[in-house]
Copies of this chain bind each other. A is one copy, B any other.
Amino acid sequence: MDETISVVLFSGTDDKLQSAAVLVAGAAALGKPVRILLQYWALRAFTNERMGKSNGYCPEAGDSGRAAFEAAAAGAGLASWADTMRAAKELGDVDIAACSQSMDVLKLVPADLDPMVGGVQGVAAFYLNAGEGQIVFI
Chain A residues at the B interface, C-beta cutoff of 8 Å: 1, 5, 8, 10-13, 15-16, 18-19, 22-23, 25-27, 29-30, 32, 39-41, 44, 55-56, 58-61, 65, 68-69, 72, 77-78, 99, 101, 104-107, 122-124, 126-128, 130, 132, 134-138
- Residues of chain B within 8 A (CB-CB) of A107 are 68
Sample 25 A-B pairs with CB under 8 A, ordered by A number.
A8-B136, A10-B16, A12-B60, A15-B40, A15-B41, A19-B39, A22-B99, A25-B123, A26-B123, A26-B124, A26-B127, A27-B123, A40-B61, A40-B65, A41-B61, A56-B60, A58-B59, A59-B59, A68-B105, A68-B106, A72-B104, A78-B104, A78-B105, A135-B136, A137-B137
- Residues of chain B within 8 A (CB-CB) of A123 are 22-23, 25-27
- Residues of chain B within 8 A (CB-CB) of A69 are 105
Report whether A41 and B65 are in contact in the complex, using a CB–CB cutoff of 8 Å: yes
Q: Known contacts A72-B105, A105-B72; is A30 also within 8 Å of B124 by CB? A: yes
Query: Which of B22, B105, B126 is within 8 Å of A26, CB to CB?
Result: B126
Task: Give the complex CA separation of A16 and B16 in angstroms.
Answer: 15
